[in-house]
Each structure stands twice: as C-alpha cells, then as structure tokens.
Amino acid sequence: MLGLNKKDATLLIVVAALTLCAPFILNPFPTGSAMAQFNAGYPDLMQRFIIFGIFAIGFNILFGLTGYLSFGHAAFLGVGSYSAVWIFKLFTYNVIPAITLSVVVAAIFSLFIGFVSLRRSGIYFSILTLAFAQMSFALAYSVLSNPKFNLTNGETGLQVYADDPQWFHRDSLPDLPHLFGLSMRSTYSLELGAWRFDFNAGYYLCAVILMIVFYLAIRIFRSPFGMMLRAVKSNQQRMNYTGLNTRPYTLAAFVISGMYAGLAGGLMAAMDPLAGAERMQWTASGEVVLMTILGGTGTLIGPVLGAGFIKYFENIFSKINDTVLHNWFAFLPDGIEDFVVFIVHPFIGKGWHLTLGLLFMLVVIFLPGGLVEGGQRIGRLLKGKKKAPDSEDPEHHPKETPHVAE
Amino acid sequence: MDALLLQILNGLDKGSAYALIALGLTLIFGTLGVVNFAHGALFMIGAFCAVTVQRFLNLSFETIDETQKDFLGNPLKVKTPYVESWFGPDLGAGIIDWSVPLAILFAIPIMVLVGFVMERGLIKHFYKREHADQILVTFGLAIVLQEVVKYFFGANPIQTPEPNMLRGSVDLGMMVGFQANAIIYPIWRLVYFFFAIGIIGGVFAFLQFTTFGMVVRAGMADRETVGLLGINIDRRFTIMFGVASAVAGLAGVMYGPLNPPNYHMGMDFLVLSFVVVVVGGMGSLPGAVLAGFLLGILESFASTTWATTTIPGINQIIIYLVAIIILLTRPRGLMGRKGVMED
C-alpha cells in the first residue's frame, strides 16, 4: 500500500486509527468520576500530543538516522510560530498559507544554520546548534522587538491585534484561525451516558497532518536516502574514504527535520495564534531530545510515543496534589499513609520536572532504546515463556567478526 | 583610555566565572573524555552551599526582653543567633557577616564529595558509550540536581551579601593616576577576580609542579600507556573530577554576592561555558581560561552604549557570534591541541 511493505503499512494504519479515535481512547473514564482527572481527551492536550509528536518525528530524522545531536531545534519551531502569526496579522486567519509559510521559513532558516553547523560533527555540532538557537532566542527576545522594527514583540509575544491589516479577512469568517471558514476551536461534543467526547476541528487538522508526515517519515526511513543517513551514523569516515561526500545528505536531513519543526511551530500558532520567544529557548530543544530518547531513537513510532508520554504525564502529574495522594493511599494505616505521601510529594505537582529528569536518566542508563526497546524486551520475555528459549542463532551461522575499531 | 580600562575591568568578573567553569569542564573533558552537561549544576550547588552556610549561621533562638516593648505593648521578642550567644555578640556578628567567604571552607569538602559521587556513581559507567549518551545522561542529571535545589530552596533568588568590609566601591583610577571618579569599581568584583586568579593559579601549579599533577598530565596525553606503567590512573582522574567540581563550586560560592543565586543559574552559565570551552579549544586548559576572560571582556565592550546603539542587541549575541566565527575559521579553537575530539 502506498509503496510501503506490509509491516510499515500496518504501523501507519495503527497510528492513523489511534489518532482518529484518540478522543475516545483518551477519555476512558466517565466525566465527573474520581478517575476523570486521568482523562486526556480534551482538545488542548490532544493537540499538544500531535504537535510535539510531529516535532519529535522530525528531530528523529536527524538524530535517529544520522546521529547528529542537535540542541537547537526549538529555534525552528519558534521561527515557524512567528511566521504563522505574521500571516495571521497581515493577510488572513486561514491556516493553510500560515502553515505553508512556517514550513518554508523554517526550511530557509535551517538551511542556513545547517550549512554552517554541519561543517563540524559530534560535540562541536551540538554546541554550534545550541549557540545558534540561543542566539535566535536572544534576538527574538530583545533585539528584534525594538520599536523601529518590531518583528517578535519581545517578552509579550507576538499576537494578532484588532488594528492589524489582515487584508484578506472577511467579516463572515471567524475571528480565529480557521480552515476555509471552519474555526480551529469549533468542537463537537458527543454525550454518551456518563461519558463525554470532544471532537475538535483543530485536533483533526493536526491529526491528518501527522498522518501525512508520519507516512513521509516512513518513506524517508526506507528510502536509499535514509540508508545513506544510517551509514553516516555508523561510520562517516568510511563513507568519506569511499569518495562520497556526506555533507549534502546530512544537510538534507537537517533541513527536513527543521521543516518538521517549523510545521509543528506553525500548527502551534494555528491552534492558538500566539508566538513567544520562550519556545526557542534551549530547554525547549532539550525537551524534544527527551521525547525522542524516551520513546526510542531511530525507531518510527518511538518519538510519537515519547512526545505523548511526556505531555500526558506532565499534564497529569502537575494536577496531582497531596489531597489526591491521601485519597489514594487512604487504605494504608495512618502513619504509613502520611509517610508515603511525604515520600511521593516532591515528585508530583510542581516536582514533575524532577520525575522527568530521573526518568530520563534511568532510560539513558538502562534502556538506551527507549520505550520501544522496553516494549520489545517485554514482548520477548512473554514469548520466551511460551516457547522454550532457543539460542540466538539456531542454524549456527558463523558469527561475523566485529570490525576493528578505528 | 579610562573608558577602555573600565570596560576591561567590567568584563573581568563575568570572565572569571566563565574561566573557572570552563577550566573545570576542560579538566573533566581532558582527563575523562566526558562532556559534562551537569557542570553548571555544580556551579549552582556551590552557590547554594553559601546559602546553606548563611542559613545555618543565622539559626537563632528567641528570648523575651522585658525591658523593651513592641508596638502592641507586649514584651519584645529578641532573636539571637546561636553563633552570637556562643562567641559573644561582636565575634558572632562578624562570623555571620563573613558567611560567604566562610562558606568556602564548607563548600570544598561538599563539592569534592559531590564530584566523587557523581563520577563513581554515574559517569564511570559512561566512558565506553557515545558522547551523545554522555551529554544526555549528564543533561538529565543537571535537571534532577536543579529540581532538588528548587525543592529545598524555592524558585526565587536568595540574597547572599558580601561582608560589610568588602561592600562599596573603590576608585581604581586614582591609584594609577587618572582623575578622581574616572574608574570606580566594586570591591567584591575585584575580590572575585583575584580569587579566580588564585584558584586558576593553584590548579595550574598543582598540575605543573606536583608528581600527582605530572601523572595526571601524562594520563591526559596517553591514558593507556600510563595505565600500563602500573599507575592507577582511574583513581587519579576521579580525584581530578573532584577538583573540577570544587573549582566550579567555589566559583559559585563567591558569585553569590554579584548575582543572587537561583536554581537555574547553572544552566544559564553552562551554555556560555561550553561556548567558552569550544572557543578556547577542547581539552586545552590555558585556552579555556584565556577564552573565558576574553569573552567576558568582549561581552562587556559589547554592552557599552556606543556598541548597542550602533548594532542594537549586540551584547546579547556577541559571544555566540564570536564562537561561530571561531569554530568555522579555527575549528580547533584558540589553543586546541591536535587529535582531541576530532573525527
């Protein structure tokens, strides 16, 4: 199907089904019940799942395939957001031109940064991208918001004001980002007994785009181009010795992943017409690194999982407080209950970042393949119980001799 | 001329902090070959050592003074720090006043210990793994350390004032023959600068003139050979990690009066310190120090009104700009050695 083999097609279909049915899947608990706080099926959060998923897929094309660890990808996201909001301000609230422009601008921006940064590799590359991103952040935060030439509106963030020109805006159109008249905020709520499901236009736009870019990512992973990128990761020097210039390939990967980031930024602005400089800060770049690693670097589904995982738990953990904890542990004897709550307290609510940091360290240390590898291990464990564990290589092929390290 | 001198002086305090952090980073990188993203967190922990010492010294008990009344007419409650009751009011107040310099004594063992635990507990297991993994795990550690400090000390900056005696400014211009008030410089910044020079000098002397330092330098040049000679190089490198951690911590302790410590100060300095290390040349100790001071001074020049009116915002981006230019024209940095981190 669509030039995919059976396994990939299944994966794509599963992802498509999951995203389309997300409003159902993420709302398993009846509204108003005690467990309703674990519901994630409201539009704002679901949009964030998808948008960060797109961001992480793009980042994974660079980091997962070529091994170049960029610490400055948030800059492209920020640039995408700014250009989308500018379209809203100057021309129209229609999201198609805004998203298109954000991808194009991010591509140009990443072409420039990539051209410079990719002259170095390894740790130097990380620091160069970090420096570029911090520079863009500083520019957006202060320099480009001077009264004469206000491109970013500094600390306040760029937003649409009533006196903006909006040349193509008609009164009949909604006063919010829309797709040919369909407002991104419009939500259809379906009440089914005690359950309530929200179907949001913006979410479905993001979902369709996610499916498209996920399909593209699969094609990139399976293409000769993707193969070349993997070769860069395993041994760039050898590639160079065979007379092959790897720079155009890595640059293309960098620009593609920059475009994904720009797309995510554009979508973010389309869901909420606002762009701020803090989106470009290096902690934001760090976040996408966390998502990709947590999910599984170099795998197709990993980054999406990681993004969803982090955004879901960020949301849930921040909501849990001591009262909730006391309810949970009410079955324990009083003294022990207080003790358990005391122990868990630093990790919840505002302490979510602590949990995230610990989790991230644990994943890097024990599970370098992320959630995907964890799933595979569990799967293997379950299979191993059914079948007698046979040796790795039942046909006793001679082992390949490992290459001597350079 | 005096304006020029003033800008150079203004750059020295930030430059000292950059140089100290970059020195520690380079020590770790040069010895263990690990890129330590948690180094900024060590700087921050150092600053919070000073906060802790200050809090301990200010622990006090309340007594009721019958002779004085508060505004409600009740007997006044007087808080007396324990230190004052132990050592007498004068000496006690003096000790509290000097809490930041005293914190150095407390910070050195703590920071060395933190360094040991970090190296033995975590980083040791990452020597054989990719640089990307090292970056990632130390990045995670930095987040954790930062959040732990935030949990105990809150998110707001905490004032750690310098001793009364070292407060205020000194007219440096007068001393070298300029007009009065031409170059006025805060005393604590001078103290910080000389402190930094002292530490940097100490580290270099330690590496240059002791047998231990010689072995470490040999290990930096060729770890395997030194190991083959029957020297336990790993243990020495662990000690160097402790030293690097103490250097970063001390930089943080003394930086408190210049900029009240908050939990994310480490991250803010870390990014710049990496840039400093790269500009100086990966693995080169003199390069790191030189680049630290140079970039600090450069930043101070870019912050002058003349510079900011010519190119608005140049002070925000100058360091990154210089780093990019240097990396592209002199890929090894100012004093980088051949063969370090090259692929």
So what's the pLDDT on residue B109? Answer: 94
Cβ separation A237–B343 shorter than 8 A? yes
Of the candidates A225, A17, A19, A253, the residue with the CA atom closest to the CA atom of residue A114: A253
Cβ separation A139–B331 shorter than 8 A? no
B78 touches chain A (CB under 8 A): no
Q: What are phi and psi of A96, to 5 degrees?
A: -60, -55
B141 touches chain A (CB under 8 A): yes
The segment with the largest mean pLDDT, out of B84-88, B140-144, B159-163, is B140-144
Q: Which residues of A253-263 are buried (b: 16+ CB within 10 A; e: fewer)?
A: bbbbbbbbbbb
B144 touches chain A (CB under 8 A): yes
Cβ separation A357–B267 shorter than 8 A? no
Smallest CA–CA distance, residue B195 to chain A, in Å, is: 29
> For residue B245, what pLDDT band results from cuts at 50, 70 and 90?
very high
So what's the pLDDT on residue B341? Answer: 55
Q: Any idea what DSSP says for residue B210?
A: S
**Residue B261 maps to a domain:** yes
Radius of gyration of chain A (CA): 23
Query: CA A14 to CA A6: how far, in whole Å?
Result: 12
Closest residue in A to B125 (Cα–Cα): A365
Tokens of A303: 């980054």
- Indicate if the pLDDT at residue A396 is higher than 60: no
The interaxial angle of helices B233-255 and B39-57, nearest 10 deg, is 60
Chain mean pLDDT for chain B: 85
Of the candidates B232, B243, B340, B233, the residue with the CA atom closest to the CA atom of residue B20: B243
Smallest CA–CA distance, residue B35 to chain A, in Å, is: 8
Q: Any idea what DSSP says for residue B165?
A: G
Q: Any idea what DSSP says for residue B70?
A: -
Please write the tens of the pLDDT for every residue from A208-251: 999 999 999 999 999 999 999 999 888 888 888 998 898 999 99
- Indicate if the pLDDT at residue A180 is higher than 80: yes
Q: What is the 3-state secondary structure (H, E, C) of chain A?
A: CCCCCHHHHHHHHHHHHHHHCHHHHCCCCCCCCHHHHHCCCCHHHHHHHHHHHHHHHHHHHHHHHHCCCCCCCHHHHHHHHHHHHHHHHHCCCEHHHHHHHHHHHHHHHHHHHHHHHCCCCHHHHHHHHHHHHHHHHHHHHHHCEECCEECCCHHHCEECCCCCCCCCCCCCCCCCCEECCEECCCEEEEEECCEEEEEEHHHHHHHHHHHHHHHHHHHHHHCHHHHHHHHHHHCHHHHHHCCCCCHHHHHHHHHHHHHHHHHHHHHHHHHCCEECHHHHCHHHHHHHHHHHHHHCCCCCCHHHHHHHHHHHHHHHHHHCCHHHHHHHHHHCCHHHHHHHHHHHHHHCHHHHHHHHHHHHHHHHHHCCCHHHHHHHHHHHHHHHHHCCCCCCCCCCCCCCCCCCCC
- Mutation target to probe the A interface, by most A beta carbons within 10 A, among B29, B327, B330 is B327
So what's the pLDDT on residue A389? Answer: 46
- Mean pLDDT, residues A249-268: 95
- Mean pLDDT, residues A382-389: 64
Which among A135, A365, A368 is the nearest to B317, CB-wise?
Answer: A135
* Total number of domains constituting chain B: 1
- Indicate if the pLDDT at residue A285 is higher than 60: yes
**Residue B116 maps to a domain:** yes
- Indicate if the pLDDT at residue A401 is higher than 60: no
Which has the higher per-residue pLDDT, A350 or A236?
A236
Q: Give the CATH number of the domain where residue B258 resides.
A: 1.10.3470
Q: Is A55:A307 a contact under the CB 8 Å cutoff? A: yes
Of the candidates A341, A346, A342, the residue with the CA atom closest to the CA atom of residue A358: A346
Fold of the domain built from segment(s) A6-30+38-319: ABC transporter involved in vitamin B12 uptake, BtuC (1.10.3470)
Query: CA A298 to CA A57: how far, in whole Å?
Result: 10
The interaxial angle of helices B285-302 and B2-32, nearest 10 deg, is 150
> For residue B339, what pLDDT band results from cuts at 50, 70 and 90?
low
Cβ separation A365–B341 shorter than 8 A? no
Closest residue in A to B148 (Cα–Cα): A354
Cβ separation B140–A134 shorter than 8 A? no
> For residue B289, what pLDDT band results from cuts at 50, 70 and 90?
very high
Which has the higher per-residue pLDDT, A249 or A179?
A249
Cβ separation B278–A124 shorter than 8 A? yes
Q: What residues have CB less than 8 Å from B171, skipping those under 6 apart?
A: B180, B181, B183, B184, B185
Query: CA B259 to CA B270: how far, in whole Å?
Result: 15
B271 touches chain A (CB under 8 A): yes
Smallest CA–CA distance, residue A75 to chain B, in Å, is: 14
Q: Report CA A222 to chain centroid distance, whole Å.
A: 21
Across A215-219, A393-397, B19-23, B76-80, least confident range: A393-397
- Mutation target to probe the A interface, by most A beta carbons within 10 A, among B137, B147, B340 is B147
Query: CA B77 to CA A124: how far, in whole Å?
Result: 60
Domains of chain A, residue spans? 6-30+38-319
pTM for this one? 0.85
Do β-strands A187-192 and A182-183 pair in parallel, antiparallel, or remain unpaired? unpaired
Q: Which residues of A touch B (CB under 8 A)?
A: 67, 69, 116, 119-124, 126-128, 130-132, 134-135, 138-139, 141-144, 146, 236-237, 282-283, 286, 289, 293, 346, 351, 353-354, 356-358, 360-361, 364-365, 368
Tokens of B47: 């600053």
Chains A–B, number of C-beta pairs less than 8 Å apart: 112
Chain A residues whose CB is inside 8 A of the B275 CB are 127, 131
> For residue A112, what pLDDT band results from cuts at 50, 70 and 90?
very high
Tokens of B262: 């908050």
Query: CA A255 to CA A262: how far, in whole Å?
Result: 10
Cα B238 to Cα B145, B234, B300: the distances in Å are: 20, 6, 36
Cβ separation A138–B143 shorter than 8 A? no
Three-state SS at B60? strand
Cβ separation A130–B274 shorter than 8 A? yes
So what's the pLDDT on residue B338? Answer: 67
**Residue B342 maps to a domain:** no
What single string gives the DSSP state of each residue in B267-323? HHHHHHHHHHHHHH-TT-HHHHHHHHHHHHHHHHHHTSHHHHHHSTTHHHHHHHHHH
Q: What are phi and psi of A111, to 5 degrees?
A: -60, -45
Chain B residues whose CB is inside 8 A of the A120 CB are 327, 331
Q: What residues have CB less than 8 Å from B235, skipping those under 6 apart?
A: none
Please write the tens of the pLDDT for every residue from B291-317: 999 999 988 888 887 777 777 777 778
**Residue B128 maps to a domain:** yes
> For residue A388, what pLDDT band results from cuts at 50, 70 and 90?
very low
Query: CA A284 to CA A264: how far, in whole Å?
Result: 13
Cβ separation A361–B316 shorter than 8 A? no
Query: CA B30 to CA A167: how far, in whole Å?
Result: 59
**Residue B67 maps to a domain:** no
Three-state SS at B331? coil
Which among B122, B151, B275 is the nearest to A346, CB-wise?
Answer: B151
Element (H, E) at B324: helix B314-329
Domain span including residue B138: 2-57+99-329
Which among A122, A132, A139 is the nearest to B131, CB-wise?
Answer: A122
List residues bridging with A145 in a β-sheet. A150
Radius of gyration of chain B (CA): 23
